[in-house]
Structure 1
Amino acid sequence: MDIVAIERFSFDFFRKKLEQIVSWADNTSLSPSDMRIEKEWIEGRALAASLNIPLRTLQSLRESGKLSFSTVGKKVYYKVAEVQKLLDSGRIKVTTKE
């Protein structure tokens, strides 16, 4: 094991910075309301897989204005509540794989 000696000033400086980082991490942890976002939105591929519909169907619903969406980078996200409304109205038919 190596022993590294540093000046008291440097040690105190690094300790203070580390305490600031720990404090920041404690104050910025995910709250239950932040985690709720994952339940409100679903990524397009996951939605298509769960409904057993092609991605092209989701694209058609987007283009026709029947389903709103948000994009982050190259991924498309849909509001779960809005998808549920479409399902309830019968505009999207869920098929089962046989």
Structure 2
Amino acid sequence: MDIVAIERVSFDMCIEKEWIEGKTLAASLNISLRTLQSLRESGKLSFSTVGKKVYYKVSEVQKLLDSGRIKVTIKE
């Protein structure tokens, strides 16, 4: 692996730790994509888009979870 490839892998790992794609987030929290959209529209959750994908900052999602502003239901 050359230096450029190593830098790219490190960059990708850093991005994955800081940002999460909307579909992945919705599935992991067991909420709908519409709920995420409502959080965006209300200003409770900021986001970035790349193409047609929406990404959320993991640290911001964690803050909302900690504050109880996002309710997570667990399927059994």
**In the aligned structure 2, how far is the partner of 1:63 from the partner of 1:84?**
18
Scaled by the length of structure 2, the TM-score of the pair is: 0.82
Tell me how many residue pairs correspond in the alignment.
76
Q: Secondary structure at the residue paired with 2:62? A: helix
The structure whose RCO (Cα within 8 Å, separation 6+) is larger is: 2
* Large movers: runs of 4+ above 3 Å: 1-12
1:67 aligns with 2:54: no
CA displacement 1:39-90 (0-9 Å, x = unmatched):
1000000000000001110000000000000000000000000000000000
Which one has the largest radius of gyration? 1
**In the aligned structure 2, how far is the partner of 1:8 from the partner of 1:88?**
32
Cα RMSD, aligned residues only: 11.5
Consecutive unaligned residues in structure 1, runs of 5 or more: 13-34
Q: Which residue of 2 aligns with 1:86?
A: 64
Closer, same or farther in 2 for the Cα pair 1:39/1:97, shift >3 Å? same
The percentage of counterpart residues that share the same residue type is 91
Scaled by the length of structure 1, the TM-score of the pair is: 0.64
